[in-house]
Amino acid sequence: HWFDFEFHYISKIVDFSQFEERHTGINIANYLKAKLISLNILDKVRSITYDGAENMIVACHHLGDNISRIWCCAHRLHLVVTNALGFWFKEQNIDNETRSSSMARSTTTASTVVSMHDEDSLNISWPGENDEDSSSSDENTADVNMADVTSDDDDSDSVSEAVEGDNSTNDQDVDESSDQNLIIDNWSNDVETKINPIEELILIMNLLKKCRTIATVIKKSSVVAAFVRKEQLILKIKTMIHIDCKTRCNSTFLLIDGIVECKQLLMKLFNEKRSLNLRLEQVNKLTTIELNNEDWDFLSSLQFVLKPFYFATVMMSGKNYPSIGLAFHAVHKLKHFCTKDRPFEEQIKQLKKLLLAKLYHYFYDDVEQNEHLQVSS
């Protein structure tokens, strides 16, 4: 980003290269130096932004002490959110006594909190559908993508007629874990997966399990997808529901936001599931993922708390303007948001407390990085 002699603002990618060697820190450092020398800007570089991968840390240290090394703030914000709220935690070696005591303190009833070990009752797969009409086209198969939550475009989708039988591309259970890893990069390296068994994290873990299953059902079931599309047109709901991925915390916010915005049609789906052309095991599957009042309240709290982090990440990810000067102010605003409490919002208060602890860990406790951000702002 720079201004020309007539003070016109210019934003341009100076160089984009393919790196075919082993991605070791030394190799990356040598390659970067060669590129900077060829562009005649090696002595002009004042800072370099990188993610938290070990090879990138080594590479940046080998570039020289005169170049400030700044972590990608969007990446750190991703770690703040995912690790604070346990988006990808897995329950491991928690004895029944610990689980029972945690559930007893839960804001929901014990029957609504399902163990992640209970794969039969709550996994993110969808039972195979009828074989009679297995040649259904892509138009009848639901591959529901998430629309931008701020989009003002008119909804021009037409309502497809419901097929006679509920069809799928595969008669076997389909594990949607592959969709959660569509974006593979260094952003998943430091995402924590071992659970600290406190009440809020167990609730989030199991609630996200339900949300991901709902997204999977909409994608894999043509009957459910047709029902959802029809209700979206009737209710004029533009927000869609899609599965999230481990490498982008904003994808989890969009999943939660989509579920909350589609609350009315999802409640109708759960109420009318027995009238749809579904098999008994599919109806039973929908029963296990029904959201009760406590679930909806908790999802609304998550949506409220995560929205500022979503917009901060979007702002930091801009490619047509220098974002480093905005990062420090964005993080400071998020800190202020997390410290601002209302006495009657205990659930939100606890979520903010978890986020604030990680915000300090990834930003304010790193003195060197914090100083670089302040200077750049």
Q: For residue range 167-186, what is the model confidence (pLDDT) as tens digits? A: 443 333 334 444 444 445 55
pLDDT at 236: 93
Q: Output helix, strand, coil percentages for the chain, rounded to the nearest 5.
A: 55, 5, 40
Q: What are phi and psi of 64, to 5 degrees?
A: 120, 155
Q: For residue range 222-253, what is the model confidence (pLDDT) as tens digits? A: 999 999 999 999 999 999 999 999 888 999 99
Q: For residue range 252-294, what is the model confidence (pLDDT) as tens digits? A: 999 999 999 999 999 999 999 999 999 899 899 999 999 999 9
Between β-strands 2-3 and 9-10, what pairing exists: parallel, antiparallel or unpaired?
Answer: antiparallel
Of the two residues 66 and 163, the one the predictor is more confident about is 66
Between β-strands 2-3 and 47-50, what pairing exists: parallel, antiparallel or unpaired?
Answer: unpaired
Q: For residue range 358-370, what is the model confidence (pLDDT) as tens digits? A: 999 999 998 888 8
- Is 293 buried (19+), middle (13-18) or exposed (0-12) by CB count in 10 A? exposed
Between β-strands 9-10 and 47-50, what pairing exists: parallel, antiparallel or unpaired?
Answer: unpaired
How far is the C-alpha of 101 from the C-alpha of 96, rounded, in Å?
9
What's this model's pTM, rounded to 2 decimal places? 0.71
The count of other CB atoms within 10 Å of the CB of residue 3 is: 9
The count of other CB atoms within 10 Å of the CB of residue 34 is: 12
Residue 39 has pLDDT above 70, yes or no: yes
Give residue 126's pLDDT band: very low, low, confident or very high (50, 70, 90).
low
Helix H segments across the chain?
25-38, 54-61, 73-85, 96-104, 199-220, 222-235, 249-261, 263-271, 280-288, 293-316, 324-339, 346-359, 367-376
Of the two residues 118 and 197, the one the predictor is more confident about is 197
Average pLDDT value over all residues in the chain? 76
Residue 91 has pLDDT above 90, yes or no: no
CA 159: distance to chain centroid? Answer: 29
Residue type, 331: V
The count of other CB atoms within 10 Å of the CB of residue 308 is: 16
How far is the C-alpha of 137 from the C-alpha of 145, rounded, in Å?
17
